[in-house]
Amino acid sequence: MTARHAATARSTRQSLVVAVLCVAGTVVALQQTLVVPLIPEWPTLLDTSAENAAWLVTATLLAGAVATPILARLADMVGKRRIMLVSLGFVIAGSLLGALGDGLAALITARALQGVGAAMIPIGISILRDELPRERVGGAVATMSATLGIGSAIGLPLAGVLVEHFSWHMVFWVSGASAALMFLGVVLVVPESKVKSSGSFDLVGALLLSAALLCFLVPITKGGHWGWTSEKVILGLAASVAILAAWAPWELRHRSPMVDLRTSARRPVLLTNAASLLIGFAMYANMMTTTQQLQMPEATGYGFGLSLIAAGIAMLPGGLAMVFLSPVSAGITKRFGARTTLIVGATTLALAYGMRVFLTGSVWQIVLGATLCSAATAIAYAAMPTLIMRSVPITETAAANGLNTLLRSIGTSTSSAAVAAVLTSMSFSLVGHEVPKLDGFKTVFVMAALASLASALVAGFVPKAAAAPRAVPAREEGAASAEAPTRATSSDVRAGDNRDVVASGVLTDLGGRPLRRGVVTALAPDGAHLDWGRVDEDGRYRLALPGAGHYVLVASADGWATRSQFVDVTGPELPQFTLSRPLLLTGTVVSSGGPTADLPVTLLKHSGEYQAATRTDAEGRFEMSLPPSGRYVVTALCEERGESAARGLTVLTQPQDIELELASSHRLNVNAPA
C-alpha cells in the first residue's frame, strides 16, 4: 500500500469514528427528550401522583450526574471504548426494562439506567482527541456538540408520533433499538485508545462526590414540590456542602484522585467550567419554555394552542441550525481560538434571549428566537471541550471533560428549578387551571440573557492559547541514519500520527528520593508541546506521546531548579529524571558588635506563620530550601548582645542571597500582674 493510499484509508477510518460518535451523541440526547411529552400523562398512565411521576425525569438527571464523572475517570484508566460500551449497555438495559415494565418503580429504575448514557459525551470527545490529527479535532468536537441539539429537537416530535400511533412502550423500544445499533457501531468502528492512566480507582472519592451531588441535585429538582424553605431542601443543601468539605481534602491527598483538584483549579479549566455552568443554565431555559409557550391556549392572549407534535416540529430548525453551524464554530476556533468562540457564542446567546423578550407575537417569531438561541448554544458548546483539553494532561482528558459535563448538568438542573419557580409564581387562573403569564416567560428570557452575559464575561478572563511553533520541514526520505532515533516534530503530530505510547518515569533528587508534586512536560524537538503530567506522591509521572522517538522533557518542582533533557523513548518506561540543583535562600548575618556564628535564623510567612529555621555557620552564613513563591520575613537574633534583624522579601522561582545586619534593640520589661 502506497503512502497516499494509507493516508486515504486512515482518513476514511477517522471519518467513520467521527460519524459513529456523533450518532452516539444523538442517542444520548434522545434519552433526555423522548419521555418529556408524556410528563402530563404519566400520572394517569401509571396511576400515581404528579410528584411521583416527576421522578421519571429526575432519576435520569441524577443518574447521569453521578455516573458521568465516575465513568469518565474509569475511561481514562481502563479504556475509553470499553467504558463507552458499558454506558451503552446501561442504556439498552434501561430501555428494555421500560419497554417491558408497567409499574412506577420499574420505570424509574429504567430511566435511571438510561441516564448513565450521559457519560458517553465526554468519553466520545476524548476519543476524538486520541484518534484524530490536531487540525480535525476542533471540527469533530463541534459536530458532536451539535448532534446533542439535533437529538433533542428530534426527540420531541418523534415521541409525539410514537405515542399517538402506538403506545408509550414504543418510546422505550425505539430508544433501545437506537442504543443497540450504536453499540454495534462502536464495536465495529471505534478502536480502543492506547492512552490510559494508571493508578487505583478512588472509590472513597467517588462515593463522597456521588453523595454530595445527590444531596445537592435532589433538593434543587424537587424544591418546587417540597418548598424552597422546607427542612428537606435546607438539610439536603447543607449536607452537600458538608460532604464536599470532606471530599476536597481527600482528593488533594489521594495519589490517583477521582477529580484532580489541582488541575481543575488551573485558571483556564476553572474559568471554562464556570462559563459552562452558566451556559448550561441559559441553554436549558430555551428548551423549557419554547414548546410550552407554543402549546399555551389561545385564551391566554399570547399562546397558539399548538399540538404536541406541532410544537416539537417547531424545535427542529434549532436542531438543524446547530448542525449547520458546527463548521462555523470550528472555523472560529481555528482562526481566533476557542476562547473567542466561547465569547462569541455566549454573547450571541444573550442577544438572542434579548430578542425573545420581544419576539412573542406569532409562531414564526418564537421559532426564530428559539433557533437563534440554539445556534448560539452550538457555538458556545463547541468551544468548551477544546478549552478543557488544551489545559489538562492527555491521560486525564475523559475525566476533565466529565467534570465539565457534570457542571453543565448542574447548570441545566438549576435552570429547570428556576424556570419552574418563575413560571409558577407569575401565573393566573384560566378555566380552573393555573397557567403562566407572558411576563413569566419574558422574565425567564431576561434571566437566561444575564447568565449568558456572565458566561461571556468569565470567558474573557480565560488565558489566550499560545501560538503553536512553526513546523520544521520534514527531511527527505533516506536522509536519516538507520541508527538515529525517529524525531517526533510538531508536523508529525499535525499529520495525524496518533499518540499511542503512554510512558512513565520517576522524578528524583540527587539522593534518589522521589520529588513530589512536580510537573514534567514533553516537547517535540522543534518545540511543539505534546503533553504534561503531574508528579504523584511516589514521584511518578505519565506522558502520552506520539510513539517511539526523540523528545525533550522539562521538569520543575518546588525548591528545585528547572531542568530539561533529551530522551529516547522506546517503550513505556522512561529513564529516571533527576533534579540536581536545589534552590536555596542564602544570606549573611553581620554585626558591628561581635561575631555572628551559630545564631538562629527564622523564616516566617508574611502573614505570620512559621516556615523554616536554621543557624549561621562560623562565617555568619546561612542557607535553607527556597520556600514556595510568596512574601516572607527573615529574622536573625543574638540574645547575648540584645541584637536582632528582620527583613521582608518576595520569593519567586530564583535563588536569593540576602544580608541581615544586627542592631541593638530595646528590651521591654513586662511585669506580670500580681
Among 178-182, 306-310, 383-387, the minimum mean pLDDT is found in 306-310
Which residues are paired to 567 by β-bridges?
A: 551
**Per-residue pLDDT at 496:** 41
Alpha helix locations (H) across 302-337? Answer: 308-313, 316-324, 326-336
Task: Give which of 150, 167, 423, 549 is closest to 312, Cα–Cα.
Answer: 150
> Cell 540574645 sits at which residue?
639
**Per-residue pLDDT at 305:** 86
Cβ neighbors of 331 (< 8 A, separation 6 or more) are none
Q: Where in the chain is the domain with CATH 2.60.40.10?
A: 490-578, 584-664
CATH superfamily of 490-578: Immunoglobulins (2.60.40.10)
3-state DSSP assignment of residue 83: helix
CB 429, CB 330: distance < 8 Å: no
Alpha helix locations (H) across 478-584? Answer: 490-495
pLDDT(3) > 70: no
pLDDT(235) > 90: yes
Q: What is the CATH number of domain 16-201+256-460?
A: 1.20.1250.20
**DSSP for residue 662:** -
pLDDT(191) > 50: yes
Q: What percent of the chain has pLDDT over 90?
A: 24
Looking only at the bridges linking them, the beta strands covering 501-508 and 577-578 are: parallel
pLDDT digits (tens, 9 = 90+) for 39-60: 777 787 788 877 787 788 788 8
pLDDT(485) > 60: no
Question: Mean of the per-residue pLDDT values for the chain?
Answer: 83
pLDDT(276) > 80: yes
> Cell 471533560 sits at which residue?
401
- φ/ψ region of 420 (left if φ > 0, alpha if ψ in -120 to 50, else beta) reads alpha
DSSP 84-96: HHHHHHHHHHHHH
pLDDT(195) > 90: no
Cβ neighbors of 566 (< 8 A, separation 6 or more) are 525, 550, 551, 552, 553
Q: Where in the chain is the domain with CATH 1.20.1250.20?
A: 16-201+256-460
Maximal C-alpha separation, the chain = 102
Task: Give which of 198, 220, 196, 209 is closest to 248, Cα–Cα.
Answer: 209
CATH superfamily of 584-664: Immunoglobulins (2.60.40.10)
> How many other β-carbons are positioned within 10 Å of the β-carbon of residue 595?
14
pLDDT digits (tens, 9 = 90+) for 536-578: 777 888 888 887 888 999 998 877 888 888 888 887 788 888 8
User: How sure is the predictor about 466, in pLDDT bands with cuts at 50, 70 and 90?
Assistant: low
Q: Which amino acid is at 2?
A: T
**Per-residue pLDDT at 244:** 92
**Per-residue pLDDT at 465:** 66
Cβ neighbors of 175 (< 8 A, separation 6 or more) are 27, 30, 31, 34, 91, 95, 98, 114
> 3-state DSSP helix/strand/coil percent for the chain, to nearest 5?
55, 15, 25
